[in-house]
């Protein structure tokens, strides 16, 4: 009997959710949280949260769910949506924040040559994405600082716009470089799986909607919140929760591996 065709997978750097999703696609019709943890190297707590969102979206179904009989909760993939992991909030609703930079980067690759902010706004504002000139300008300026774009300053008084051009050899692939921080600029390229550019001083009051809210960054903020809550509620010597310590160690290791910590 012919074997099942191999799944297409995302290349380059992968977020924790992407690793979970690829494990679910491989296991398909029967898996539990620990199966996903072993294949994705993610914590059970994060896997459960993502599974619950996938269940609400109808992408994953529960096969066995009876703790009274001591059975492990089993899941199955009800709908395979392809190589890219489904982007959902905790309610199982689709999120589209990532499409802004995807559209801008795709437009830069397609348009070629010198382009203005207005050119990119027009080309990238499609579908569910509506972009402002400010948002596009900040992303283009960040890519210029990181060495992806050549920037030719214009003259406002003369009505001459600033031009941007994708530098030959800097089209690293289809996935857009991510703005990890704006106050202290960091640009991460998922095609190369490494941090490309850092600057210790950034733009005050920058539009933070450009920052890619990957689950790795969300999880880091949540971990910090748990530590702060623990510190605030402690009334004596603190007994550190083993689960929190373990998740923090794993997060630090994951950030070091992806280039998030230098």
Question: What confidence tens digit (pLDDT) does each residue in 11-61 have?
Answer: 556 778 888 999 999 998 889 999 999 998 888 888 999 999 999 999 999
125 φ/ψ angles, rounded to the nearest 5 degrees: -85, 80
User: What's the angle, vertex CA 203, arms to CA 188 and CA 209, rounded to 5?
Assistant: 60
How far, in Å, CA of 99 to CA of 128, rounded?
8
| Architecture of the domain delimited by 99-208 | Orthogonal Bundle (1.10)
Mean pLDDT of 140-168: 92
Looking at residue 161, its pLDDT comes to: 93
Q: How far apart are CA 179 and CA 109, in angstroms?
A: 18
CATH of range 16-77; options 1.10.10.10, 3.40.140.10, 3.40.50.300, 3.90.1150.10:
1.10.10.10
Q: Which of 39-48, 183-192, 232-241 has the lowest mean pLDDT?
A: 232-241
Residue 213 has pLDDT above 50, yes or no: no
Q: What is the pLDDT of residue 246?
A: 66
Higher pLDDT, 226 or 163: 163
pLDDT at 183 over 60: no
What mean pLDDT is reported for the chain?
79
pLDDT in tens, 82-134: 888 898 888 998 877 778 888 999 999 999 889 999 999 999 998 778 888 99
Place of tokens 């096969």: 63
Q: Give the ranges where 117-198 is alpha helix by DSSP (H).
A: 117-124, 133-145
Instruction: List the beta strands (DSSP E) in 49-137.
Output: 60-64, 74-77
Q: Residue 251 is inside which H or E element, if any?
A: helix 242-258
What is the average pLDDT across 221-235? 69
Expressed in angstroms, the distance from the first to the final Cα of the chain is 49
What are the angstrom distances between the C-alpha of 121 and each of 103, 131, 137, 208? 9, 6, 9, 18
Task: Return the beta strands (E) in the chain as ranges.
Answer: 60-64, 74-77, 149-152, 163-166, 178-181, 186-189, 194-198
Q: Which helix (H) or strand (E) holds 107?
A: helix 99-111
Per-residue pLDDT at 241? 73
pLDDT at 214 over 70: no
**The model's pTM:** 0.54
* Number of other residues whose CB lies within 10 A of the CB of residue 152: 12
Residue 90, token pair as written in the block: 């905790």
Q: Residue range 235-245: average pLDDT?
A: 70
Residue 146 CB partners (closer than 8 Å, separation 6+): 177, 185, 187, 196, 197
């Amino acid at each position: 009997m012919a074997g099942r065709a191999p799944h297409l997978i995302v290349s380059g750097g992968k977020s924790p959710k992407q690793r979970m999703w690829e494990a679910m696609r491989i296991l398909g019709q029967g898996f539990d949280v620990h199966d996903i943890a072993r294949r994705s190297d993610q914590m059970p707590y994060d896997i459960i949260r993502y599974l619950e969102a996938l269940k609400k979206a109808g992408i994953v179904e529960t096969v066995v769910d009876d703790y009274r009989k001591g059975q492990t909760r089993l899941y199955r993939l009800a709908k395979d949506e392809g190589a890219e992991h489904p982007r959902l909030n905790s309610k199982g609703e689709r999120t589209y924040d990532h499409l802004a930079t995807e559209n801008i980067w795709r437009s830069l690759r397609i348009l070629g040559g010198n382009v203005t902010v207005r050119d990119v706004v027009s080309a990238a504002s499609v579908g569910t994405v509506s972009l402002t000139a400010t948002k596009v300008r900040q992303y283009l300026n960040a890519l210029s600082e990181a060495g992806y774009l050549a920037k030719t300053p214009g003259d406002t008084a003369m009505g001459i716009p600033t031009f941007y051009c994708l530098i030959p050899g800097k089209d690293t692939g289809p996935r857009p470089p991510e703005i990890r921080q704006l106050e202290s600029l960091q640009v991460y390229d998922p095609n190369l799986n490494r941090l490309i550019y850092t600057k210790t001083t950034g733009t005050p009051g920058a539009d933070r909607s450009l920052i890619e809210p990957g689950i790795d960054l969300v999880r880091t903020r949540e971990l910090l919140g748990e530590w702060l809550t623990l510190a605030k509620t402690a009334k004596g010597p603190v007994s550190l929760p083993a689960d929190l310590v373990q998740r923090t160690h794993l997060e630090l290791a994951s950030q070091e591996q992806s280039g998030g910590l230098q």
